[in-house]
Structure formats: structure tokens, C-alpha cells
Structure 1
């Protein structure tokens, strides 16, 4: 590859490329979450079950996770600009096809292809932004990219909620078209391709590695997406795909260790900083997507908010994270050790989780959320860029690209694991709380009898007979119990999420610090 300095841009060209790259990153990330709030509308429009329509999310996620670790190799084979432009075009065209789908089968196929295109947008956008900045400003470049990655997941729900409430679900895909067209034109005219080493011949391509990787992450993603609703290993499909995941993972690691030109360089995980950084990236994805998953469910199912209101609640957190990014970039430029920033981020995220744990009630207002979410924004701002640079701090040359691929994939998988485990936890913890609260629902207790009497009188005042009023009073009491059960369950989820982050702090502080400046442009995707 030629000297990375030849890729550095200045003035208006740099601004245009940065805007284009962030737009592409946002396209990919927003599309991961924007669909969630539209699933109910899709279900009714296409006449399918919730289990069927969930494949719209699963298909995209599977394709995404498959493509991320292969992006470096594909960029080298076809040239970065060619691969990047083709990916934007595939993403944009399939967005239009998704909006025009007339059956669930069509929509799932188009979403999978859209995920294949979107898989390249995130990591390639990071590389492009990194390369156009001089070496001494690479920390700021990572911060600018981080704004899109962190803010993106929280933009999806409010944007999707607004579109569904005011238009119809196909428009969540149609809004990608103008952005995709503009990004394509800008990429063709402004993005440069580094000079790569000689391309691999078809006979030298690690086809078995590609097949095994696709099988492993595809099966794993399905198990994580559908495990809870299909009763995990009591379901034959989940059990079969779990076995396939384990076997394909074993053979994939073996294959990559013996292949002359592996699709993924497993040996690079011998680097302690990268190995620990990969784990931390997984935890970051777990916390980011997990907390983003719980809050909309709590506010809509317990507090009765609309999808738009639930999504808008997360905006202050996103804004705060965005404001933190340039500050973090400056701190890194001045030599503040990444591990101290990461440790502070984990501690702040624990404070956020603990504050939400104590704040959650069936009547919590939006004002109560403001400061905890501001704290969340600060914590995430302290985590993303330092973890990324810490992971790559002791790597050299082409190892940096391979390390970045691992961190990108693990962030995605962390989010999938987070949502799957939190969903399972909510189901099982709610059963525990229900049993516990039911033991206190003794009709002979004065407080229970008084509440039942109040409900009964309310129903009688609305014209019900005494018997009808009593039956409705029991249902109202049960409804209150279920609501309290779910509040306790969601609060527990936040508490354990916070504990997970605190546990990571000693491991972060034990990491050795890379002394050399990082130059991700040496061989990034």
C-alpha cells in the first residue's frame, strides 16, 4: 500500500468526505433499529405473525455480522472505492425493494441483501475518515466517526416511530433513497483507493473459511434472535443450529490456523491488548444495545408512551455523547491513557444503571429520565473511542485492519447477545417477582382489601353491578400486580447491566499501554 499521507485531505474536500462517510455509517446503524417500531404495522399490512415479521430484523443482522469480518479482504480484492460504492448502491436499491415488497418472503430476502450491502458501510466509513486526517489528529477522526456509531442506534426508534405514526412503514426504507444516491455520487468523486498488495487468485481464496464463518455467525445470530420466543433448547431448530454454531466455530478456527491466506487472521488474538479490547468491545455493544432495548419497552408497556415519545427520550443521551466525542479526541491527542478514560466510562455507566434502578416506578416521568440519560451519554462517550484505540495500540501494519475487523464484529455480536440475554432475563425474573408479590396478595390483609374495595366502588360508579364490579376489581388488581412485576424486572436488568460494567474496570486498568502512535490508515478496511 502506498503511504497513507497521500490519502490525507484538507479543507472542503475533507469536510465533504467526512459528511459522506458519517451519512453512510448512520444509514447502516439507523436501519438496524428503525425497523423495530414498525414490526406491528408490517405484521398487519402483510398478514403475518410476529414470529414471521421478526425475520425482517434477523435477516438483516445475520447478513451484517457475516460481512463485517470479510470487509478488509473484499476491499483488497476489488479496491476500496469500488467496494464501498457498490455497497452503497446495493443498500440503496434494496431499500427501495424493501419498501415495495408485497409479501413477507420478498421483504426478508431484500432485507438480507440490504444487510450484505450495509455490512461494509460501517467499517469502511471508519477507515475513510481515519485516513483523510493527518496522523496527529487520528484521535479526533475516531471521535468524529464515534459520533455516528453511538448516536445512530438511538436515532432509529424516534425516527421510525414518527414515520409509522404519520406515514406508513415502507417509508422507513424510502428515506434511505435520497441519502444513498447523494452518498454514491460523493463516494465516486471524492473517495480514493489505497494501492493494495497483489490480489489473491480464485484458487487462493479461503472459500472454506468464508463458508464456515457464514454458517457460524448466521446460525448464532438466529439462535440469539429467536431463542427466547422459541423456548431455547427445547426447540429442535434452536438446538440444531446451536450444535451447528459450535461445530462450525471449531472448524473455522482450525481452518484459519492452517490456511495459507486465511479470511480472518485468528493468530492476531495472541496480542493481549486486542484480546482484552475485543472483550471490552463486546461488553460495550452489550450495554449500548441492551440499554437502548429496555427503555423503549419500559416506557411504552408500563408508562403508556407512544413509539415516538419513547424514541425521543433517548435523544438527550445521544446529544451528550456527540458533545463528548471531540473532548475525548482532544484528550487522546494530549496523551491521556485510554485505559483511564475507559475505566471512567465504565464507572459512569454503572452510576447511570444504578440511578435508573432506583428511579423506575409505574409512574416515572420523562423529567426523571433526563439526568440519568445525560450521565449515560457521558459514559458512552468515554468508552467508544478509547476502547477502539486501546485495542489497536500495540498492533502494527496490516494487523491493525485485522484487529479493527474483530472489534467491529464483536460490537455487533455484543448487541445481539445483550438483547437475547436481557429478553430471557426479563421473562424469568418476572416469574420470580410474580411469585413473590402473589404471596403478599392476601385478601385478608387490610391494605389489599381496601384497594379491592376502592376498585369495586369505581366500577359501581360507572354502572356495573356489585358482582361485575368485584370481578373487574380483581382484574384491575391483577393488572397493577403485573405492572409492578415488570417494573421490578426492568430495574433488575439495569442493576445487573451496571454490575457487568463495574467488573470490567480492574481488567481495563491492568492492560499495558501502547507507546507508539496508532496509524489505522496503514491497512484499514
Structure 2
């Protein structure tokens, strides 16, 4: 029952990682937001999780694991309900931040309790069942959420989390009894606050840079200065403090340092397609939410396949598995970068599934090689940094991809408008039934403008997917530098 409860808690959090993505286009229209503004719903949730995750150990030591799980599930469920009731973009982003902050301790604490509840010989089997929560959540959430948002509206993707949260809360209250506390525990508040300020300022700069014309904006300049100052204070404090928030001595381990670099890129690639595909599919091709949910669910099915493959493939060299996983992501990104405006549902489905398969193949060997040579005494702290870097990579790359797509779309539209001229012979050569475009009326001009906007938007997304593919292949040389520990 402990294992079932904690698997449910983990699945509860894993659902929210992808569930909002399926309804991003509907949220965008309902809240009158632009593409870069609605992306804040995803990125700020990831950032809140990244900032709050390293506090998990301190919170559990001070208030007990049970207390943090109970209040974490309560806060997470209430924040999910508030997301569904939000009436403005600002309110929705605020509640998504709270959702990420309350949800951050759930997965690491659940994992720790599962490990402590089973003897060593049964831990592998228990973790296999526990891992199903992480994998099944992103499969079910977008599929069910897509149908609910199409039948009702986008708010139901958040409302559907509430009953799951109540079931998980009942299980935690009844079956989780770990009330042990370490009493007065240490938290380096200077390091925590400066790191939080750096991440938040840098993320806001990336999210709003394209909209505010980058460094021509005083707000962007202020965010850049604040991020630089906070990063300097954080690094200087971490090097000189006796007990820093993040211990820089961990970086002396070669495998761990390489693992952080690789997991940063892994985070960059993990959720970017699930953020780019929904607005692309609806904005360019007019797909309904239910089909978009199936596409995002296909990514989860691919991840599930990669996860099951690891049950027997773990005897292979982990470097080979890592290269295979990143190559799968690269091939998927390369294929997406060659979509046309007439892309098919099957084409999007199999590329999403392949990208998800790459995620499933990468995760287990990446975790193994990162911690293979690290002193066991530093595992808790090193794991917190590991997840922090992964989440930070996700939020940064989503923002960069959205900015690249929008910038490319604007440039492409400007280039295409040059052709909407009476001097363009192609327009005058259309005759009879094939006279599709013309400059004869306001309505015809509006139709031509819409089509040019659609084509320009497609070019922008294709450039973002090309960046995704290049990043996937570029990390492979780092994998070859990893040292494998032979048993």
C-alpha cells in the first residue's frame, strides 16, 4: 500500500508536466495571450520546481517526510484547482508557480521512502513499479486532457487532477507514517536566494526578450544585470562558505561533472517538442485538442517503450545507450524540421513516439554513469543538483525555441510580403478556376495575408526543430568522454 500510494503521488506530479501543453492554444485564445506569453505557463512551472527541489532535504529534516508529503499534496491539489479557476494569464502563471513549488518535493521524497521501505534485494523491483508512475502520468494526462478540453474547455485539464490529488492525499494520511525529524537542520539561505534570483531573472529575460526587443528594453537590461549580479554572488559565496547551498567540490568528480552537462542538454530536449507541437498543429493545420492529446500521449508511449527496454538492455555499455537515445531524439527533430504545412497526423505521431523513446532510453544509463564514481555520502545533495540542472535546461531551451520560432516567423513574413505586389507576375498569371490569390479587394488581401502568416509561422517552427536536432547530435561527443565503471 505504501508503494501504491507513493506511485500515485508520483503520477500525480508527472501528469502536470505535460497536461497543460495540450490546451496551450485554447488557453492562448481564452486569455488573449501571444505565443511567447502562453509559454510562461510551462516555463515558470518548471522553474518553480527547479528552485524548490533542492530544499526537499532541509524541509524533510525540519518537518518530517510525512508532513511535507501531506502539505505538498494539499498545496498541489489546491493550486491545480486554482489554475482551472484562473481568469487572467497573470493568475494562471502564479498558480502554476505554486503548483510547481508544492509538487517539487513529492517525487524525491516518495523515491526516498520507497527505497527505505524495502530490503536491498527487493529495491530494484519496487523502483520498477514506482517508475511506472513517472512514465504512465505523461501518457494518460494529455490524452484524457485533450478530450476533456475539446468537450468542455481548457480548465478541465486542471480540474481532472483534483480527484486524483484527493485519492493520493487519503493514501498518504493513512499509510505514510514517517514522522522522524532531524531537528535544527542547516540551509544556506544566501546561496538559495541568490540562485533563485538568478534563475528567475534569467528566465524572464529569455521569455520576454523577443517581445521587448531584447537589450533595447530597460526591463531586459535590468533583468540581465540582476541575473549577472546574483550569479556572481552565488558563485563567490559557494566557493568561500563552509556549508554552501550547492557544494562546488562535487564538480571534482569527472563523471558527475560530465553527467551534469549531459543532463542539462537532456533537460533542454525533454519537453521542448511537447511545447512547440500543440500551437504548431492548431495554428498551422487546425487540429482539435483531442488529436493533439493523442500526439503528446504517443510521446509517453515511446518513453514507456524505452523504459521497458532498460529491463534487459542495462547489460550494454551505458555510453552506447546514451548515444542511441540522443540519436533517436536527433532523428526525430530532423524529421520534424522537414515537415510541411500539409503534415500528416501519422508523421507527427511517429516522430513524437521516437523522441519519447529516446527520453526513455537515456534516463537510466545517464543516472547510472553520473553517480557511478561519486562518494555515497554526497548522493542526496548531488541528486538535488542533478534535478535542478535538468529542470533549468528545460525552461531555458523552451524559451529559446519559442523566441527563435517567433523571430524567424516575423522575418519570413516580412520577406514574403515583398511578393504581394502588382509587379509580381505570378499573381496576375492565375486564371479561371485557379485564381486563388488576388490584390483586388480587402477580403482577398486579408486571405493572402493569413496564408503568408501561416507559411511564415511554419518556417519559424521548422527552424526551432532544426535547433533541437542539432543540439541532440552535438551532445554525443560528451558521452564518449564518460568513464564506465566495470563490475
**Residue 456 of structure 1: how far off its partner (Å):** 4.0
1:347 to 309, 322, 327: 327
Further displaced range: 217-226 or 282-291? 217-226
Corresponding residue number in structure 1 for 2:454: 483
* 1:219 matches 2:201: yes
* 1:22 matches 2:10: yes
SS at match of 2:109: helix
Q: For the residues of structure 2 that align with 1:172 and 1:37, how far apart are their CA atoms?
A: 13
* 1:416 matches 2:361: no
Further displaced range: 210-219 or 123-132? 123-132
Matches within 5 A, 1:372-387: 372-387=351-366
Matches within 5 A, 1:450-489: 450-451=429-430, 456=435, 467-468=440-441, 472-489=443-460
Matches within 5 A, 1:28-67: 28-30=16-18, 33=21, 36-40=24-28, 42-43=30-31, 60-67=45-52
**Residue 240 of structure 1: how far off its partner (Å):** 1.0
Q: Would the alpha carbon gap of residues 446 and 33 (structure 1) be closer, same or farther in structure 2, given more than 3 Å must change?
A: closer
Consecutive unaligned residues of structure 2, counting only runs of 5 or more, are none
* 1:426 matches 2:405: yes
Note if contact 1:34-1:159 (Cα within 8 Å) is conserved in structure 2: no
Further displaced range: 216-225 or 93-102? 93-102
Q: Would the alpha carbon gap of residues 439 and 36 (structure 1) be closer, same or farther in structure 2, given more than 3 Å must change?
A: closer
Q: For the residues of structure 2 that align with 1:448 and 1:269, how far apart are their CA atoms?
A: 62
* 1:125 matches 2:113: no
Matches within 5 A, 1:219-298: 219-298=201-280
* 1:406 matches 2:385: yes
**Residue 251 of structure 1: how far off its partner (Å):** 0.9
Q: Tell me how large the CA RMSD over aligned residues is.
A: 3.4
Note if contact 2:23-2:289 (Cα within 8 Å) is conserved in structure 1: no
Q: For the residues of structure 2 that align with 1:427 and 1:103, how far apart are their CA atoms?
A: 23
Note if contact 1:25-1:148 (Cα within 8 Å) is conserved in structure 2: no
Q: For the residues of structure 2 that align with 1:370 and 1:100, how far apart are their CA atoms?
A: 32
Consecutive unaligned residues of structure 1, counting only runs of 5 or more, are 1-12, 460-465, 517-525
**Residue 345 of structure 1: how far off its partner (Å):** 0.7
Q: Would the alpha carbon gap of residues 137 and 493 (structure 1) be closer, same or farther in structure 2, given more than 3 Å must change?
A: farther
SS at match of 1:302: helix
Q: Would the alpha carbon gap of residues 200 and 498 (structure 1) be closer, same or farther in structure 2, given more than 3 Å must change?
A: same
Corresponding residue number in structure 1 for 2:374: 395
Corresponding residue number in structure 1 for 2:342: 363
* 1:509 matches 2:475: no
Q: Would the alpha carbon gap of residues 256 and 233 (structure 1) be closer, same or farther in structure 2, given more than 3 Å must change?
A: same
**Residue 280 of structure 1: how far off its partner (Å):** 1.5
| Structure (1 or 2) with the larger CA radius of gyration | 1
Q: For the residues of structure 2 that align with 1:30 and 1:106, how far apart are their CA atoms?
A: 19
SS at match of 1:179: helix
Q: Would the alpha carbon gap of residues 136 and 426 (structure 1) be closer, same or farther in structure 2, given more than 3 Å must change?
A: farther
Q: For the residues of structure 2 that align with 1:429 and 1:104, how far apart are their CA atoms?
A: 25
TM-score (norm: length of structure 2): 0.87
Q: For the residues of structure 1 that align with 2:292 and 2:207, how far apart are their CA atoms?
A: 22
Q: Would the alpha carbon gap of residues 479 and 104 (structure 1) be closer, same or farther in structure 2, given more than 3 Å must change?
A: closer
**Residue 425 of structure 1: how far off its partner (Å):** 1.3
1:336 to 313, 316, 329: 316
Equivalenced residues, count: 487
**Residue 508 of structure 1: how far off its partner (Å):** 0.1
Q: For the residues of structure 1 that align with 2:433 and 2:448, how far apart are their CA atoms?
A: 10
Q: For the residues of structure 1 that align with 2:437 and 2:229, how far apart are their CA atoms?
A: 61
SS at match of 2:485: coil
Note if contact 1:62-1:217 (Cα within 8 Å) is conserved in structure 2: yes
1:430-461 Cα offsets, whole Å, 9 max, x none, are 345446556677866765533476564789xx
Q: For the residues of structure 1 that align with 2:125 and 2:426, how far apart are their CA atoms?
A: 59
Note if contact 1:36-1:57 (Cα within 8 Å) is conserved in structure 2: no
Q: For the residues of structure 2 that align with 1:210 and 1:489, how far apart are their CA atoms?
A: 37
Note if contact 1:21-1:126 (Cα within 8 Å) is conserved in structure 2: no
